[in-house]
Amino acid sequence: MKYIYIVACALLITVSACRKVKTEQDFPEIKNKPETQQDGWTAEKIEQIAKQKRDSIRIADSLAGTTGGGGNVLANKKNLLIAYVEVNNRAFKNVTCFLNDEGKPVIDLAWVFAPNINIDPSTKKVKVTYNRQVQGLINKGYIRYVQSKGIKVGMTLLGNHDAAGFRNFRNIEEATEFAQHVAIEVRRLGLDAIDFDDEYSESPAYANNESFVMVVSEVKRLLPDKFVHCYIYGGASSSSYLGKRMGDVADAGSSAYYPETPSPGSAGFPIEKLIPSTKPFSGGGYDEATLRSRMQQGYKGIMMFDFNMFPNDYLNRLKSYVKGVKEQNVVEIPGCVDRRENDDVNM
């Protein structure tokens, strides 16, 4: 279960800068199929799809006279408004409940926070694992439902108190095998994006500073049409491989404290690939003027962690964000919002 990291907040900083709560589930109570080769998903198939996508992107770029564009809408879009939903007890469908004056959703991307990574005790390999709430959301069809409303959907991968960690792959072969597994999960679930959050993993003696960029660069190679994001936290800031830093291989990066605006160059990200982090519904937001200023400075967008409708003035808070980031108004769909906070809200 998740819990608020109260001790750190009380001792170190104010609530507005509090670290995010974490997903924790004993492995392997809920997990994906133990072998990625099941149901026709193989490393060879993933490589074939990646080649097809790269070829399509090259053709689209050639026709448009651009470079690196076709197929990855989020990577090329500005003024993004991004929602992280703690799906253990927040309703994921709430991201669909708010439209602009044109009837389009104001949220561009919704993250499922968060599946974990764990060591599979039978194979000793790192696998993506899903707790009861995440698996329930998948089974219920909420990924497709939210996408059908015009919102992109991705999932965050988070450590879970064992040696499975983005910094813990000892060589490119191990990193590539894990990247293939991640790519299979993204394709299998029909996701638009993948996010890496380097927290809550153990750090064994063989931790490797090249490992994290190895993984993300391979994931990006296998998913050229998907949006790849990384929290600038843990190993993301210092990791490098073959002269490449995280900002050279991922599409975007965000701070891991709230509210916080990352400085240009953080982890190698230029300002146009950086996304300030906020918690407007739980004590760590920016006002409208600050949001507008960040957009004018050239930041890619704004992320809202712990997207929830618990405050009575949730609509006014969201309105200031949409106005500051997009210069748009907000209309709430009547009867759409689910304000419940319980473990089965997405089941």
- Bridge partners, residue 126, by sequence: 119
In CATH terms, the fold of domain 6-332 is TIM Barrel (3.20.20)
Catalytic annotation, pick one of 86, 185, 199, 210: 199
Beta strands 240-241 and 227-231 are unpaired
Tokens at residue 338, please? 């689910």
Q: How many Cβ atoms are within 10 Å of 28's Cβ, its own excluded?
A: 15
Looking at residue 24, what is its pLDDT?
Answer: 42
Considering only CA atoms, which of 104, 106, 83, 86 is closest in space to residue 280? 83
Q: Which amino acid is it at 54?
A: R
Active site residue 35: no
Per cent of the chain over pLDDT 90 is: 82
Tokens at residue 266, please? 């953080």
H helices then E strands: how many in the chain? Answer: 10, 15
Q: Would you kindly state where each structural domain of the chain is located, as residue ranges?
A: 6-332
Whether the predicted model's global pTM rises above the 0.75 cut? yes
Looking at residue 343, what is its pLDDT?
Answer: 96
Looking at residue 206, what is its pLDDT?
Answer: 81
Q: Which residues contact 335 (CB under 8 A, 6 or more apart)?
A: none
Residue 297: pLDDT above 70?
yes
**Which DSSP category does 39 fall into?**
G
Q: Which residues contact 5 (CB under 8 A, 6 or more apart)?
A: 18, 19, 20, 21, 22
Q: How many Cβ atoms are within 10 Å of 214's Cβ, its own excluded?
A: 27
Looking at residue 25, what is its pLDDT?
Answer: 41
Q: Which residues contact 62 (CB under 8 A, 6 or more apart)?
A: none
Average pLDDT, the chain: 90
Considering only CA atoms, which of 187, 103, 185, 92 is closest in space to residue 140? 92
Q: Which residues contact 6 (CB under 8 A, 6 or more apart)?
A: none
Residue with tokens 């197929």: 71
Considering only CA atoms, which of 325, 346, 347 is closest in space to residue 86? 346
Using pLDDT thresholds of 50, 70 and 90, give the confidence band for residue 207: confident
Distance of alpha carbon 119 from alpha carbon 104, whole angstroms: 41
Range in 35-44, 140-149, 183-192, 299-308 with the lowest mean pLDDT: 35-44
CA angle 232, 285, 158 (to 5 degrees): 35
